[in-house]
Amino acid sequence: MLSKLKTYLNMCIHPRLKYMPISLKLAFIYSIMLCLILIVTLSSTLIGIHYVLFHEAEVSINLSANYVEKKANNETVPELLQDVKSSALIPGVVMRVTDSNNNIVYDSLPMYISINHVQDSLARQEEHPQIEDYIRNALLPSDLKFVNFKHFWIFYTQRTIVKNDETYTLHFLRTITAEKVFLEELSETIFYAGIAGVIISIICGFLLSRRLLKPLRDITTTVKNIEIQDLNQRIKVQPTRDELEELSNTFNLMLERLQKGFEQQRQFVSDASHELRTPATVICGYSDMLARWGKDDPQTADECITAIHSEAINMQRLIEKLLFLARADQKRQVLHKESLNLKPLIADIAKDTQLIAPQHTITCTHNDDGYIFADELVMRQMLRIFLDNSIKYTPDGGKITISSENKVKHMIVKISDTGIGIAKDKQDKIFERFYRVDSARTRNGVGGTGLGLSIAKWIADAHDIEIRLSSKLNKGTTIILIIPKDN
């Protein structure tokens, strides 16, 4: 039976609850809880009142029956009847005495219902019991019976005594009339009050759930109105200090991150298009020149070919940098980290840089042994980016130094130059993509795409390297790399 009920609930009730709106679920749960509380409370009240009334009737009839039975064992029938007439019975209890022939010997209330009627009703009740009558009789002692009539209830018990070889039956009856009407009216009132309470609880639960979930609906409406082209809208946060306030703040933070990401993406696309358009324009211009005059003028042809080749190399480098950052953003840039001695790497890079930039004085002032856990190729790329940057922004004849120092837990790498320096208000922006200190987006003056330091910053972050910058205008710049050692 229980398995069938469980199967029915899983097949019919559970799917409906699963796809029901949260407001209805809350109203449904609230109503069920309130219904259970009402049922328990009202049932307990009704059972308590029944118990008090029935217990009083049970006690009074048992006390009277036990007292008379005790008297009957010590007195004659006339003396017993005389005591009964005087004060042996508790008020409300009726007593009748019948002999062996079922003739009434004594009746304390002649106008009361007949014993035969009571016994016939009891027999019919036992033959066709109603649930409430069965429960009441089951809770009573075996010698005490409960008889349900249309307008009243009767508690009935009997005792048998023998006097002078004659058997007498003592019948004791206790009527509940006014109490029956009261209890029936009370039960009916409680039933309708319970129904009204359930209806009110459903309505209140629905209204309360709608009010509680209004902030969620506002959040949903705001989110629906937000478009990719307009991420400026924010959810209004109510100072409720609850989960909904936390959810609203979380949504707003997410929208801020999305807006920042889309703005960066638009800026990135715009800058990349601009940077790619410049070499493409140069290539097209020299191609046209080559087509017009290159055939007849070898010097012009050589100039055009050299320029086209140079711009193609620049374009290739730019595309490689863009691809590197794209893989990094998508977390697809693979690093092959291993234990690496930093000393030969620093020495090799300093030597190569001196060959590339003979117009500058590049020296390695101090170079300690020390092992780090890193990818050699990208570490070399990062150091070259910083050195290339120093070369670009240091006038010819300037000095560039690189050094490494072994500390307890870190290797400290310093790259210093005597270049033009970086203004303090621009130092936080140099690692942004396509940013250049002169804020130019052209290829006039100092060359470069503005992507190198962004790549260096990503490599540093991937190796848990801390970057510190110290720079003064017209004095020079120092980059300090704090690299964790390989344990």
Q: What CATH number has the domain bearing residue 260?
A: 1.10.287.130
Residues 6+ apart with CB under 8 A from 446: 392, 393, 436, 438
pLDDT in tens, the chain (487 residues): 556 555 654 555 555 555 666 667 777 777 788 778 888 888 888 778 777 777 787 888 888 888 888 877 777 777 777 777 776 677 888 888 888 888 888 888 888 888 888 888 888 877 887 777 777 777 777 778 878 877 778 888 888 888 877 888 888 888 877 666 777 787 788 888 888 887 887 788 778 777 777 777 777 777 777 765 567 777 777 776 777 778 778 878 888 887 777 777 777 777 677 667 767 887 888 888 878 877 777 888 888 888 888 878 878 877 887 788 777 777 788 888 999 999 999 999 998 888 888 899 999 999 999 999 999 989 998 999 999 889 988 998 999 999 999 998 999 999 999 999 988 888 888 888 777 765 443 333 455 667 888 889 999 999 999 999 999 988 899 999 999 998 7
Identify the CA nearest to 216 among candidates 238, 239, 236, 244. Answer: 244
Residues 348 and 459 in one domain: yes
Q: Is residue 113 part of a domain?
A: yes
Q: How far apart are CA 418 and CA 402, in angstroms?
A: 12
Q: Is residue 429 part of a domain?
A: yes
Q: Is residue 208 part of a domain?
A: no
Provide the token pair at 90. 């508790």
Where does a domain end: 265, 298, 329? 329
Number of domains observed in the structure of the chain: 3
- Give the SS3 label for residue 14: helix
Distance of CA 179 to CAs 64, 118, 175, 185, Å? 20, 19, 9, 10
Residues 6+ apart with CB under 8 A from 402: 346, 349, 350, 362, 363, 364, 365, 383, 387, 413, 414, 415, 416
Q: The domain spanning residue 385 has which CATH number?
A: 3.30.565.10
Residues 394 and 418 in one domain: yes
Answer yes or no: are the C-beta atoms of 480 and 468 closer than 8 Å: yes
Residues 24 and 56 in one domain: yes
Identify the CA nearest to 479 among candidates 409, 394, 397, 395. Answer: 394
Residues 299 and 344 in one domain: no
Residues 163 and 300 in one domain: no
Torsion, CA 414, CA 419, CA 424, CA 429, rounded to 10: -80
Identify the CA nearest to 373 among candidates 340, 408, 409. Answer: 340
Q: Which long-range contacts (CB under 8 A, 24 or more apart) does 426-429 make?
A: 427/469, 427/471
Where does a domain end: 139, 171, 202? 202
- Give the SS3 label for residue 235: coil
* Cβ neighbours around 295 below 10 Å, total: 10
DSSP letter at 227 equals B
Query: What pLDDT sits at residue 448?
Result: 63
Residues 125 and 151 in one domain: yes
Instruction: Tell me the pTM.
Output: 0.51
Residues 186 and 298 in one domain: no
Q: Is residue 4 part of a domain?
A: no
Identify the CA nearest to 387 among candidates 478, 482, 292. Answer: 478
Q: Is residue 85 part of a domain?
A: yes
Query: What pLDDT sits at residue 19?
Result: 61
Q: How far apart are CA 58 and CA 61, in angstroms?
A: 5
Please compute, for residue 434, the number of CA atoms within 13 A of its CA located in the half-sphere on the CB side: 19
Q: Is residue 210 part of a domain?
A: no
Residues 362 and 474 in one domain: yes
Q: Is residue 219 part of a domain?
A: no
Look-up: residue for tokens 């050692």? 485
Residues 288 and 352 in one domain: no
Q: Supply the range of the domain harboring residue 248.
A: 243-329
Residues 262 and 173 in one domain: no
Please, what is the angle between helix 342-356 and helix 376-392, to 10°?
A: 40
Query: What pLDDT sits at residue 445?
Result: 47
Residues 313 and 169 in one domain: no
Residues 144 and 29 in one domain: yes
Q: How far apart are CA 172 and CA 122, in angstroms?
A: 14
Where does a domain end: 202, 230, 261? 202
Q: Is residue 221 part of a domain?
A: no
